[in-house]
Structure 1
Amino acid sequence: MIKNYLKIAWRNLKKDKQFTLLNVLGLSAGLACTLLIYLWVHDELRYDQFFDKDDQVYQVLEHRKSSSQQLTDESSGMMSEVLKLQNSEVEYAAAVAPSDWFQKFTLTSGDKNIKAAGQYTGKDYFNIFSFKMLQGDRGKVLNNKNGIVISDDLAKRLFNTSDNAIGKPVKFQQGKYFYVSGVFEKLPVHSSQQFDFVLSFDYLADVQGWVKNWGDAGPHNFIMLKKGTDINTFNKKIAGMVTKNNGDTTRSAFVTRFSYNYLHNTFNHGSRVGDRLAYVKLFSLIAIFILIIACINFMNLSTAKASGRMKEVGIKKVVGAARGQLITQFLSESLLMALLTMLIAIAVTWLLLPQFNQLTGKQIRLEFDAPLLMMLIAITLFTGLASGSYPALYLSKFKPLAILKGKLSSSFAELLARNGLVVFQFTLSVMLIVAVLVVYKQIQYIQSTKPGYDKDNVIRFDSEGKLQGNEDNFTAQLKNIPGVINASFTQHGLVGRNYGTAVVSWEGNTNQDIYFEGFYGGYNFIETLGMKMAAGRAFSKNYGTEGGKVILNETAIEAMHLKNPVGKNIKLFNKSLQVIGVVKDFHFESLHEAVRPSFIVLAQDVNPWYKLIVRIKGTQQKQTIAQIQHLYEAYNPGFPFSCNFLDDAYQKQYETETRVSILAKYFSFLAILISCLGLFGLVAFTAQKRQKEIGVRKVIGASVNSITIMLTKDFLKLVLIAVLVAFPIAWWVMYQWLQGFAYRISIGPGVFIIAGTSIIFITLLTVSFQAIKAATANPVKSLRSE
């Protein structure tokens, strides 16, 4: 029986090639989009889910009462150590100075100088995180401050082999030697932590004591809790940890599951900047929308073509076919169509995956594992049953006598259902157009908004080796290169939050909770970046020593309620500093955040994290960078030169939004295309159904224009209704999305005019083609049988 159903289904698909082609194009495009989005969502959900004891691994976060920083992943480096000592529930604990604090370090073995990403971690780190250890005891590899744990990939680059690496010396930053104590397998791509080597956090504390100061926050802290620990009880127990050890009542500690953070909490140097789960939900919703639109096309076209199969249904009922058998037959047709289009969609997905990976920055592969196969089966069944259910029920309900007498006519309910589905799918399409336009305009606004300094043609590179402590001398030599306009140095990355404090006081201060971002810079720091002064002056050697001076930004002056600030004194870490200038506000964070109070002080101490910043001529970039590299390598032998452009780092803050904008644009285009394919089929069917009426009208003198308008206006009405329904919904959704930006566009009428005009134009283009074709047909052909 099933074999006969499939045979009949295949014959019907071959019989009406236009109907089949439209359905295949629409469904396969919808399924390919759904499959691509599923692969992206599945990839996002896999991050940090592979650890052996994932349900026991937690990260320490802090609530801050300060209005500028409600939630942070930074705390004192003492936190994990004390948590383990004072709480029996803690099995392992480790503080981490993460790799994103630093640019790549220089490691040396023999005559090889290799740039590699590294971090400093506590002794228990590899007990908490079950990265595969190839050599060494994971519980002991960080016991010695002189030990270094490297990846097998880095071992191959340093020693040409990853075998027998234990004990081999590695020179760090052309200075101290460390000895390999362990080798781990290169980290999985689905790890949110990415590094090539690990050094002891205790070693870092020896050279940077602040990382174990309760009053400072910066390191990340991780713990492994014993099985069965009640998290709510544990969080209540540790909430006052910072207050107990430091007296700071504005900070409250708690733990959250580590694997939860990738999707739910995205941090940038301690500041929470959003979550990825919102985009996972967004694209999941888009996938559902596109799949629904594709299914609606199938339903509409199948129902519209029902009159052509009425006699088939009537004869089958007369010879004894039950309604259930007819439903099964029609569902088998839709399932066969769904299977056919799924196979095409898989092929399309495989072809598009390299470009999709390039757009999303991922390394997704089409692997037919159990979850993917189950998803493919589920979507195929859903598509086949959902798109075929209404036509099957509709076609099987008619009485055979009425069918064979030819007395059937389209019911109002059928017409209403079909028109309602058209309105629904175009409503979704219009919403997607509005969303794409708003996202595009916001991204364009972000990229065109000046951050308060000139970010173009500025390169950055680390102060390493002989440069440390000699930055002033080196920047002076840099300025002798013809293509260099200016040069300076700073400890700040200039993008995102790097260093800050609330330990600032001034005359009349009534608020100790204001967070200030700190910029420690050399002479010409302000001039190199092209910042503008609102009052006073920048640092200058012409005024003698400037160590006791400070420059504030406009937001800081406003928050401090200072009038005529130049010449007044403030205290920073209990050191009195004189305000010599006010710099105009500049954005060191993305436009998601409002400009924060900031101070700039002169960098005087040797700092291992200084970065050189050099402004070069835009017309001589390659030549100038080559000359800078030559000077750097002559001045600093053994250190490979590596630089990056400041504007690239600035734009990277909006990488997610930019990718979302591009993907949404493509998916919206496909949603509109699928909708128009369905509309194209419906117009063709309507024209075919009314061909005798059109022939009569032409014989009595109707023009091509009048017939075209007659066939077009009904569908245009449906699209106009969809536009009216979509606009308020789209406005509300995009208004909510824009609230995530401190600086944002307003959604003006222009967005809706463009969206409405576009969809109406596309509709007219789609409908008029078939309408004109029907209107220009020879009426003799349609009337010769009358």
Structure 2
Amino acid sequence: MIKNNLKIAWRGFLRDRQFSFLNLAGLATGIACALLIYVWVSDQLSFDKFFANDDQLYQLMEQRGPDKMLSDESSGMLGETLILKVPEIKYQASVAPPDWFQKFTLSTGDKNIKASGQYAGKDYFNIFSFKLLEGLKDKVLADKNSIVISDELAKKLFNTTDNLVGKVIHFQHQTDFFISGVFEKTPYNSSQQFDFVLPFEYLKDTQPWVKSWDNTGPHNFVLLQKGTDIHVFNQKIKNVFRERDSNDSTRTAIAMKFSDNYLLNTFSHGAKVGSKVEYVKLFSLIAIFILVIACINFMNLSTAKASRRMKEVGVRKVVGAARSQLVIQFLTEALLITTFAVILAIGMAFFLLPQFNLITGRDLSLHFNLQLVISLIAITLFTGVLSGSYPALYLSKFSPLTVLKNKVHTSFSAMLSRKGLVVFQFTVSVILIISVFIIYQQVQYIQSTSPGYNKDNVIRFDSEGRLQGTEETFIDQLKTIPGVVNATFTLNNVVGRNFATNGLDWEGKGNKELYFEGFGGGPNFIETMNMKMASGRSFSKNYGDEDNKIIINEAGVAAMHLQNPVGKNVRLFGQPKQIIGVVKDFHFESLHETVKPAYVQLVHQGNNPWYKIMVRIKPGDQKETIERIGELYQNYNIGFPFTYGFLDEAYQKQYEAETRVATLSRYFSGLAILISCLGLFGLAAFTAQRRQKEIGIRKVIGASVSGITMMLSKEFLKLVLISLLFAFPISWWLMHNWLLGFAYRIHISALVFVAAGVAIILITLVTVSYQSIKAALINPVKSLRSE
């Protein structure tokens, strides 16, 4: 019985190749898209969920200022202070993360390797369950002179991962550390990526500022005792801050589950810059929409095809087929095609995965876990049973005589539901088209908007080794290189938050809590970055000692409510300063945020590990210029590999998520439209065949080809116009809310809706016209021969 049904289903599949191909291609494409999005969403949801004590692992987030600005940076003494006062803490660790630095030079023998590292408290490996291949987690960071390295770094330095404990590594060609442990490289779905760990106690000795309660910067993590009430714990943190900061009622901290931070809170140098979970929701919704569109296509085409098989049903009933047999036959045919579609979709997903990985920047793979297998089976059964149920239950209920006399007509409800599904398809397609237009325009806007300085043709690298303390001499030599326009050194990153302070005081400030972003720049900082002065001047050697001078940005002047600020006296951390200039606002954060108050003070060469050299080079033959810069660098720092980065790349990295969203949206929207067009093409063919005799009669009485084409196309254009009425307000609402996430954003133009409407109408006309013209050109004699 089953074998016979499968044979009949296979013959039917081959007999009507056009409908079968459209059904198979549309459904397979939709499932393949949903599979790719599923892989990406699963990857995003898995971040930081692998730690053994995930439910007890929290990060301490500090809040400051009247606006309760949330930051992942806090005092280096926060964890130590809390563990003495709050018994719910089992372990705590302060961390100076890798993004504080570029890369360090680690050496052994004649090998010099650049690697990414961090400083961490002694219980770091008790909190984070990274696998230790050598060493004990309680002891690997107990000694100030120890270092824990990854197995990958171990292979680069020693060509092995075995018996390395006790061996010496030269750090920055200045300090020796002994290996106390080797850890397995951090998983790809960990937000913490580093090659080695040094003790935080060592950093406290070399950088005393991290021991100050008032200075923020490090990250603090805690592992709580089982059963801890997080609300009670957070209240205890607030009580500690009240005791320590009786004069600052706005400063506190809260504990947030660490594994939630990757999706819910994205930070850049301390500042919250967005939430990845919104994009996870967006693409989950796109996957569902594409899958629904594909299933609607399949059901529409299947029911349309089945309505042409009424006589077959009648003949089968005459020769004795029971209704149950007909039901099983139609369901078997539908399930056969859906099974083929799922198999084809899996193959398509595997084929497209390498390209998908390039777009997402991830190394994703398709693993068939129980959840995915159940989902695929559910899609197969749901789509197959639903699309097969109409012909199975509806057509099989009529008597053979009624069917063979052709007295069965498609019900009004069936036609209405089919048209409703088409409207839904195109509503979703138009929403996607409009969303792609607006996302593209916003991404172009943020990429083309001037940040207030010239980010192009600037390279930056760390001041390290012999460069430290000789930055000004080094820069003077840099300027003699042909191709170097200007150069300076900075204490901070120009891109991203650095540190915020309320330590700036002025006459009339009163009790106002106002935080300024602090920048430290060497001579030529303003000029090298091509920042513009709104008034006053920048730092200059022509004016002698400039240590007591300061430059404020326009946002700072506005927040201070100063009239004619140049020449006014202020105090920075209690030290008197004079405002010598106002720099035009520049974006040190992404355009998600408004420009905040900031100041720039002059810094001098010295032994500071956070100094960075910034060099502006001429466009054109940059390779030769960079090679010359590298040679000069090597003259100062023999044994230090010369590594650098471009400032514009760091700037664009802030919008990496938006750029990828724009690219993925473009691809998936195109595929959604393609799937809709496949279904529309099939329905147009079905409509033309159903009205074949009507077309023949119209041609006999003088109807033109263009008139018949318009008649057939008009039915579908009405459905598209209805879909536009639904799509326009929905897409405006969705995109308006998305744009609210940007402090600087485009205005949604009516032209976007006009363009999307015209595009979908043209796509519909092109898709439908082929079948309409084909039907209109058929000889009426052939159409009416059976009458």
Shared topology, TM-score over 0.5? yes
Deviations 1:308-348 (A, max 9, x none): 22233334556665655544432332222111011111111
Deviations 1:734-771 (A, max 9, x none): 00000000000000111011101110110010011111
Q: Is the 8 A contact 1:489 1:522 kept in 2?
A: yes
Deviations 1:613-660 (A, max 9, x none): 000000121110000000000122111100111001000100000000
Q: Is the 8 A contact 1:65 1:250 kept in 2?
A: yes
Relative to structure 1, is the Cα distance of residues 317 and 79 closer, same or farther in structure 2, using a 3 angstrom cutoff? farther
Paired residue type of 1:303: T
Q: Which residue of 2 aligns with 1:343?
A: 343
Paired residue type of 1:226: Q
Q: CA shift at 1:508, angstroms?
A: 0.4
Instruction: List aligned pairs for 1:617-628, cutoff 5 A.
Output: 617-628=618-629
Q: CA shift at 1:36, angstroms?
A: 0.3
Q: Which residue of 2 aligns with 1:180?
A: 179
Q: Is the 8 A contact 1:215 1:246 kept in 2?
A: no
Deviations 1:574-619 (A, max 9, x none): 1111000000011111110101111000013542111000000001
Q: Which residue of 2 aligns with 1:227?
A: 226
Q: Which residue of 1 aligns with 2:121?
A: 122
CA distance in 2, matches of 1:325, 1:273: 61
Residue 619 of structure 1 aligns to a residue whose secondary structure is: coil
Q: Which residue of 1 aligns with 2:257?
A: 257
Q: CA shift at 1:520, angstroms?
A: 0.2
CA distance in 2, matches of 1:672, 1:719: 13
Q: Is the 8 A contact 1:298 1:388 kept in 2?
A: no
CA distance in 1, matches of 2:427, 2:252: 47
Deviations 1:641-693 (A, max 9, x none): 00111001000100000000000000000100110111101111111111122
Deviations 1:4-35 (A, max 9, x none): 33333222212211110000110011011000
CA distance in 1, matches of 2:53, 2:389: 45
Q: CA shift at 1:441, angstroms?
A: 0.3
Q: Is the 8 A contact 1:327 1:393 kept in 2?
A: yes
CA distance in 2, matches of 1:334, 1:672: 23
CA distance in 2, matches of 1:228, 1:329: 58
Determine whether 1:559 maps to 2:559. Answer: yes
CA distance in 2, matches of 1:197, 1:382: 51
Structure 1 moving runs of 4+ over 6 Å:
none
CA distance in 2, matches of 1:399, 1:62: 76
Q: CA shift at 1:371, angstroms?
A: 3.5
Instruction: List aligned pairs for 1:409-428, cutoff 5 A.
Output: 409-428=409-428
Q: CA shift at 1:397, angstroms?
A: 4.3
CA distance in 2, matches of 1:372, 1:298: 21
CA distance in 2, matches of 1:437, 1:478: 45
Q: Is the 8 A contact 2:463 2:610 kept in 1?
A: yes
Instruction: List aligned pairs for 1:71-220, cutoff 5 A.
Output: 71-220=70-219
CA distance in 2, matches of 1:390, 1:253: 60
Structure 2 unaligned blocks of 5 or more: none
CA distance in 2, matches of 1:333, 1:232: 57
Determine whether 1:575 maps to 2:565. Answer: no
Q: CA shift at 1:362, angstroms?
A: 0.5
Relative to structure 1, is the Cα distance of residues 730 and 474 closer, same or farther in structure 2, using a 3 angstrom cutoff? same
CA distance in 2, matches of 1:725, 1:371: 34
Relative to structure 2, which stretch is displaced further, 69-78 or 316-325? 316-325
Instruction: List aligned pairs for 1:253-402, cutoff 5 A.
Output: 253-317=253-317, 323=323, 325-402=325-402
Q: Which residue of 2 aligns with 1:632?
A: 633
The TM-score with structure 1 as length reference comes to 0.98
CA distance in 1, matches of 2:372, 2:697: 55
Determine whether 1:750 maps to 2:761. Answer: no
Q: Is the 8 A contact 2:132 2:184 kept in 1?
A: yes
CA distance in 2, matches of 1:115, 1:143: 25
Q: Is the 8 A contact 1:214 1:246 kept in 2?
A: no
Deviations 1:63-89 (A, max 9, x none): 33432x522211111121222222222
CA distance in 2, matches of 1:660, 1:288: 17
Determine whether 1:28 maps to 2:3. Answer: no
- CA RMSD, 1 decimal: 1.5
Q: Is the 8 A contact 1:22 1:677 kept in 2?
A: yes
Residue 595 of structure 2 aligns to a residue whose secondary structure is: coil
Relative to structure 1, is the Cα distance of residues 29 and 740 closer, same or farther in structure 2, using a 3 angstrom cutoff? same
Q: Is the 8 A contact 2:216 2:499 kept in 1?
A: no
Paired residue type of 2:484: V
Paired residue type of 1:427: T
Paired residue type of 1:163: D
Relative to structure 1, is the Cα distance of residues 409 and 371 closer, same or farther in structure 2, using a 3 angstrom cutoff? closer
Paired residue type of 2:733: W
Q: Which residue of 1 aligns with 2:471?
A: 471
Q: Which residue of 2 aligns with 1:44?
A: 44
Q: Which residue of 2 aligns with 1:653?
A: 654
Relative to structure 2, which stretch is displaced further, 742-751 or 156-165? 156-165
Q: CA shift at 1:132, angstroms?
A: 0.6
Q: CA shift at 1:415, angstroms?
A: 1.3
Paired residue type of 1:737: W
Paired residue type of 1:174: H
Q: CA shift at 1:391, angstroms?
A: 4.6
Structure 1 unaligned blocks of 5 or more: none
Q: Which residue of 2 aligns with 1:56?
A: 56
Paired residue type of 2:102: Q
Q: Which residue of 2 aligns with 1:697?
A: 698
Deviations 1:682-733 (A, max 9, x none): 1111111111221222222211111111111111111111112100110010
Relative to structure 2, which stretch is displaced further, 319-328 or 212-221? 319-328
Relative to structure 1, is the Cα distance of residues 510 and 383 closer, same or farther in structure 2, using a 3 angstrom cutoff? farther
Deviations 1:203-247 (A, max 9, x none): 111111222211112111111112222222222222232232233
Instruction: List aligned pairs for 1:437-476, cutoff 5 A.
Output: 437-476=437-476
CA distance in 2, matches of 1:393, 1:288: 28
CA distance in 2, matches of 1:357, 1:205: 41
Q: Is the 8 A contact 1:489 1:611 kept in 2?
A: yes
Q: Which residue of 1 aligns with 2:707?
A: 706
Q: Which residue of 2 aligns with 1:785?
A: 786
Relative to structure 1, is the Cα distance of residues 691 and 171 closer, same or farther in structure 2, using a 3 angstrom cutoff? same
Residue 579 of structure 2 aligns to a residue whose secondary structure is: strand
Paired residue type of 2:43: D
Paired residue type of 1:632: Y
Relative to structure 1, is the Cα distance of residues 393 and 105 closer, same or farther in structure 2, using a 3 angstrom cutoff? farther
Q: CA shift at 1:386, angstroms?
A: 4.1
Q: Which residue of 1 aligns with 2:523?
A: 523
Q: Is the 8 A contact 2:148 2:183 kept in 1?
A: yes
CA distance in 2, matches of 1:647, 1:73: 25
Relative to structure 2, which stretch is displaced further, 385-394 or 449-458? 385-394
Relative to structure 2, which stretch is displaced further, 689-698 or 286-295? 689-698
Relative to structure 1, is the Cα distance of residues 520 and 636 closer, same or farther in structure 2, using a 3 angstrom cutoff? same
Q: Is the 8 A contact 2:273 2:590 kept in 1?
A: no
Deviations 1:264-285 (A, max 9, x none): 1111111111211111111110
Relative to structure 2, which stretch is displaced further, 537-546 or 307-316? 307-316
Q: Which residue of 2 aligns with 1:407?
A: 407
Residue 240 of structure 1 aligns to a residue whose secondary structure is: helix
Deviations 1:375-406 (A, max 9, x none): 33233333333444445444344454422332
Residue 435 of structure 1 aligns to a residue whose secondary structure is: helix
